Amino acid sequence: MSGVLVFGSINLDLSFRGERWPHPGETLLGSALKISPGGKGANQAHAAQQFGARVTMVGAVGQDEFAAAALANLERSGVDLTGVRRLPGAATGAASILVNGQGENAILVAPGANLHVRADWVTDAQIADSALLMLQGEVPLAESMALACRFRRLDRTVMLNLAPAQDFHLLAPDCLDWLIVNQGELAALAAALGLGASAAGVAAFLGCHVLVTLGGEGALACLSDGTEINVPARPARVVDTTGAGDTFCGVFAAALSLGTTVEAALKFACVAASLACERAGAQAAQPSRQDIDSAADVAPRILEIQKCHILWT
C-alpha cells in the first residue's frame, strides 16, 4: 500500500507562443503552436510517475479525436488508466494557453468530460491500494471532497491543490491533510474565510497543513502544529512556466508516498518545478527522477543564473 491515486482532470493543451498577449479585440501573430497532453490531474499524475511512484489515474475523456492524444503520455509513462472513463457525448477537456516572451502564461480551460467525474467511480480496492490521494480544482469539488472523506476514514493521506481557487464553501478541511495553493490562491481563500493572507493563519483555522508555492522563491509549508518549513527554489532559465506548479505537486506527493520527510519532499518538488520551467509544455517539460537527483546535487553550487519571479500555474 504505497501508491498515489490522482482524481482529477485530463485535457489536451493548445499552447500559443508570442511576444505578448493580445489586448481585448486585438489579433496578433504568434510564433509557435504546441499541442500536447495536459490537465492538472494528468500533469500531476505524470510528474508523480516520473519520480518513481506507482500512480493510478481516475478521470474522464470524451469519445472524440482529442482523447487518445490527451492520454498518450500517461499511457507511455506507465500510469494505471483503468480508472479513466471514455464518456459518449462529452468532449475531452481542452485548454488554450498563451505564453509570452517572458515565459508567463494565461490559460482558459474548457472542462468538457472533466465536469462529469464522480467519486463513486473509485473502488474500495483502489483506495486500499493507495497511500495518498491527490486532488485539484478542475473536476467538481464536491466529488473530490466526498472522495477525500472516504480516504480519511481509512487513515490515508489526502492532498488538495486548490487550483483554480473556487467553491470555498465546499471545502471539507477535516478530510484534508495538505492544502496546496499559490500566493494568489492563498489570498483568495484567506479573504473568503475572513482571514489575513497568512499561510500559518489559514493552516491554524482549517486544521490541516498548508503549502504555498512561491514561484522563483521556492515554497513554504505551514504545518498544522505551527511548524514552518521554507525551501528556496533552484534558480532556472525560464522558458515556459506552464505546468510547473503541477510538477511541484506531483513530485511532492510522490516523494511523500515513497517515505521521504516533508523537507526532503519539498526540496525534490522545488527542483522538479524549476527544471520544468526550462522547457516548453506541461508534461513534456517534466523531469525524470534522475534529472531531479542530478539537479538537486549541483543546485547549491550555481552562483549566477536568472530566476523566475512569477507564480507557477
The percentage of the chain sitting over the pLDDT mark of 90, rounded to a whole number, equals 78
Q: Which residues are known catalytic residues?
A: 246
Contact 32, 82 (CB under 8 A): no
Q: Tell me the C-alpha distance between 230 and 217, whole Å.
A: 9
Q: Which three cell numbers stand for residue 35?
A: 499541442
What is each CA distance from 168 to 1, 157, 194, 216, in whole angstroms? Answer: 31, 21, 12, 27
d(CA 78, CA 246): 18
C-alpha cell at 289: 527522477
Tally of helices (H runs) and strands (E runs) in the chain = 9, 13
Q: Write the pLDDT tens digit of every residue in 72-86.
A: 999 999 999 999 999
Under 8 Å between Cβ of 12 and 35: yes
Give per-residue pLDDT as tens, 255-277.
999 999 999 999 999 999 999 99
Q: Tell me the average pLDDT across 9-34.
A: 92
Coil vs helix vs strand at 293:
helix
| pLDDT score recorded for residue 261 | 95
Q: In whole angstroms, what is the distance from residue 164 CA to residue 141 CA?
A: 11
Q: In this structure, what C-alpha cell is assigned to residue 222?
A: 505551514
Cell of 53: 511512484
Backbone angles phi, psi at 142, to 5 degrees: -60, -40
pLDDT at 89 over 70: yes
Which pLDDT does position 275 carry in this prediction? 94
Which residues lie across from 34 on neighbouring strands?
Answer: 15
Looking at residue 24, its amino acid is P
> What residue segments make up the domains of the chain, in order of their start?
3-10+39-92+112-301
Residue 282 pLDDT grade (very low, low, confident, very high; cuts 50, 70, 90): confident
- C-alpha cell at position 74: 500517461
Average pLDDT, whole number, for the chain? 91
Q: Look up the pTM and report it.
A: 0.90
What's domain 3-10+39-92+112-301's superfamily in CATH?
A: Ribokinase (3.40.1190.20)
User: Closest Cα to residue 285, out of 73, 138, 12?
Assistant: 73
Record the cell numbers describing residue 292, joined without a space: 531531479
DSSP reduced 3-state for 291: helix
Cell 510564433 identifies what position? 31
Q: How far is CA 39 from CA 97, 175, 200, in A?
A: 12, 24, 29
Q: Is the Cβ–Cβ distance between 119 and 143 less than 8 Å?
A: yes
- Mean pLDDT for the stretch of residues 14-26: 92
Per-residue pLDDT tens over the stretch 283-311? 989 999 999 998 876 544 333 333 333 34
User: How many other C-beta atoms lie within 10 A of the C-beta of residue 206?
Assistant: 19
pLDDT tens for each residue of 151-204: 999 999 999 999 998 889 999 999 999 999 999 999 999 999 999 889 999 999
Is the pLDDT score of 34 beyond 90?
no
What is the number of other CB atoms lying within 10 angstroms of the CB of residue 229?
17
Residue 25, pLDDT > 90, answer yes
Using CA atoms, how far apart are residues 169 and 133, in angstroms rounded to an integer?
21
The secondary structure element, H or E, covering residue 125 is helix 124-128
| Percent of all residues in the chain with a pLDDT value above 70, rounded to a whole number | 94
- pLDDT digit string (tens) for 92-137? 999 998 989 888 888 899 999 999 999 999 999 999 999 999 999 9
State residue 235's pLDDT score: 84
Band (1; pLDDT cuts 50, 70, 90): low
